[in-house]
A and B are shown apart, each in its own frame.
Chain A
Amino acid sequence: QSVLTQPPSASGTPGQRVTISCSGSSSNIGGNTVNWYHQLPGAAPKLLIYSNNQRPSGVPDRFSGSKSGTSASLAISGLQSEDEADYYCAAWDGSLNGYVFGTGTKVTVL
């Protein structure tokens, strides 16, 4: 079972802003940085946000991340059709001594 909880789905129309939440605990989000990955259908995951709010080279600034306490969130502004994908939060868990992923959120562009 995933120890990081995300809503199963989120949706919006083109141009809208969508936010995805990620809830954890003191042993993971509360004590370590949060990362976000997205996964297009049939493709490998790709790093979207690291260190809570940093974007790797090539990731549009429409994507932003934040963290507060034991929760984190990913925001997608100016939603585009190509943003339809599964999104996962993740962090190192000091109690499990392992890396944990969120349950995943499927984003649909209406």
Chain B
Amino acid sequence: EVQLVESGGGLVQPGGSLRLSCAVSGFTFSSYVMSWVRQAPGKGLEWVSGVSETGGTTHYADSVKGRFTISRDNSKNTLHLQMNSLRAEDTAIYYCARRARGQSYNFDYWGQGTLVTVSS
């Protein structure tokens, strides 16, 4: 059974840092592109970042570029998101998601999410 479990969320002050993790199981982690998607309270979905199977290629939304860093540890089946210089508008539930294999760019499995609250 495919499972994605996020952790690391919590309350942080503006300007602070937080590192999210996503532990996966049930599939060959190193064979899949992975992403982070967030959802602010009462708002829609926003793609945050993606990383290639080997970790060599990364993409970021303009809203987080230069502040967030996505990485992966294929030996530990874990995805990370290092978030620095956090702002109030980064408050959201952060989901990790697996990109399905094939030409279509879509996310076939999602974690349950971890809540990040940026507030003083």
* B62 contacts chain A at the CB level, 8 A cutoff: yes
A100 CA to B59 CA, complexed, in Å? 13
Q: In A90-110, which residues have CB < 8 Å from any B CB?
A: 90-92, 96-104
With contacts A32-B105, A45-B95 known, is A2 near B44, CB below 8 A?
Answer: yes
* B2 contacts chain A at the CB level, 8 A cutoff: no
Tell me the total A-B contact number using a CB cutoff of 8 A: 70
Interface string of B104-115 (1 = CB under 8 A from A): 111110111100
Interface string of B89-110 (1 = CB under 8 A from A): 0000001000010111111101
List of A residues within 8 angstroms of B37 by Cβ:
45, 101
Choose from B46, B59, B105, B110 the contact partner of A33 (Cβ within 8 Å).
B105
| Additional A-B contact list (9), CB under 8 Å, known A2-B44, A56-B108, A98-B60 | A2-B46, A33-B103, A44-B110, A45-B37, A88-B45, A96-B62, A98-B47, A102-B44, A103-B44
User: What is the interface of chain B, defined by CB distance below 8 A to chain A?
Assistant: 35, 37, 44-47, 50, 59-62, 95, 100, 102-108, 110-113
